[in-house]
Amino acid sequence: MSKNTTGNMFRVTTFGSSHGKALGAVVDGCPAGLELSREDLQAELDLRRPGTSKISSSREETDEVEILSGIFQGKTDGTPIAAVVYNKDADSSAYEPFKNKPRPGHGDYTWTAKYGHYDYRGGGRGSGRVTIGHVIGGAVAKKILELLQIRVVSHVTQIGEIKANHVAYSLVEEYSQENIVRCADQKTALKMEEAILKAKAKGDSLGGIVETIIFNPPAGLGEPVFGKLDADLAQALMGIGSVKGVEVGFGFELAKSTASVTNDEYYFEKDQVRTTTNTSGGIVGGISNGMPIVVRMAVKPTPSISTVQKTVDLKKKEEIEIKIKGRHDPCICPRVTTVAQAAVNMVLADHLLKGGFIHPCRL
């Protein structure tokens, strides 16, 4: 059993692997009449692709996308939108030593326990490269969100122990695009970059925190009790490789406080109900309340590091040591911002359709 499809009405199926022929996605359930071009998908893929900065993997992939179906005269036609990206710089030779020798921190052993084998060439379907499918699905979803002026922005707020200072939400998108760490606090971004390069020089890696803000969501998104908006967002974000924690609003901080401090009190802004604070992160009872939605995720340090690590030889049944070569991000947080946006876009598009905010057949 495996699961490669997400969503109920806006359904995205992804396919492909790190060192296979291609990766991509099939988006079904997108209403007809949505303006969509190859460039819309390419712009998002360019933000995710490796080899673009000194703190990302040096794998040289242009990740050029081709749309195979679902578009007629520049608009979606209501049929499945299939899009594909061919692998061009897959170098499997660096992975030969990891045959039958699961790399610590990767899914190699757990895939073997489940399926009886794993794709030792870069992790196959367990690789970060499969998020190309997320980004394609998210790029289509983004166009649906734009119809309602909903905008999703992800940025890095922490790398290792280094925390960014708070930046006004209205400035986060612009400021975080001005540095390679994708952190809105420019000064701290430089310190983060230094820390990542230091870890890389030592053959090590770093993790961090990526925050996603949803601007201008309508009140009423979410399907209690098994399709709550916060639950669906958490599932989507936890599904991204290397994400080990998700919190909504003040999240784990709420556990330390009291309701007299943390309850978000209501007031009227013209005829709109708003809250004076937003500790709930814009979701109460599993349903959006119209305030900005804020979700943070903890990203673990990139597992492939070049220091010596202990593992086992599954064939010879002995304990061994390995040293990982290959091209890896010393910290994946900057590139994961694009994937987080895509994952959140897909959840929102699905909820907009389920909630009746968008007509399911045509615009």
Ligand X SMILES: Cc1cc2nc3c(=O)[nH]c(=O)nc-3n(C[C@H](O)[C@H](O)[C@H](O)COP(=O)(O)O)c2cc1C
Task: Map residue 24 onto helix, strand or coil.
Answer: strand
Nearer to ligand X (CB atom), residue 181 or residue 358:
181
Interface of this chain with ligand X, residues 199 to 228, rule: CB under 6 A: none
Q: Mark 258-273 as b/e (b = at least 16 C-beta within 10 Å).
A: eeeebebeeeeeeeee
Nearer to ligand X (CB atom), residue 143 or residue 335:
335
The string of DSSP letters for 30-74 reads PPBT-B--HHHHHHHHHHH-SSSSTTS--------EEE-SSEETT
Q: Does residue 335 touch ligand X according to CB under 6 A?
A: yes
What residue type is 152 in one-letter code? V
Q: Does residue 13 touch ligand X according to CB under 6 A?
A: no
Question: x/- site string to ligand X, residues 119 to 148, per CB under 6 A?
Answer: ----x--xxx--x-----------------
Q: Does residue 19 touch ligand X according to CB under 6 A?
A: no
Nearer to ligand X (CB atom), residue 105 or residue 360:
105
Closest CA to 154 of 259, 32, 297: 297
Task: Give the shortest CB-240-to-ligand X separation in angstroms.
Answer: 5
Write the CB contacts of 38 (distance below 8 Å, at least 6 apart in sequence).
65, 66, 67
Residue carrying the six token digits 């500790």: 279
Interface of this chain with ligand X, residues 225 to 244, rule: CB under 6 A: 240-242
Question: x/- site string to ligand X, residues 38 to 67, per CB under 6 A?
Answer: -------------------x----------
The correct pick among 13, 17, 157, 302 for binding ligand X (CB under 6 A) is 302
Q: Does residue 101 touch ligand X according to CB under 6 A?
A: no
HSE at residue 91, side-chain half, CA atoms within 13 A, is 11
Chain residues that interact with ligand X, rule: CB under 6 A: 57, 106-107, 123, 126-128, 131, 240-242, 300, 302-304, 328-329, 332, 335-336, 339
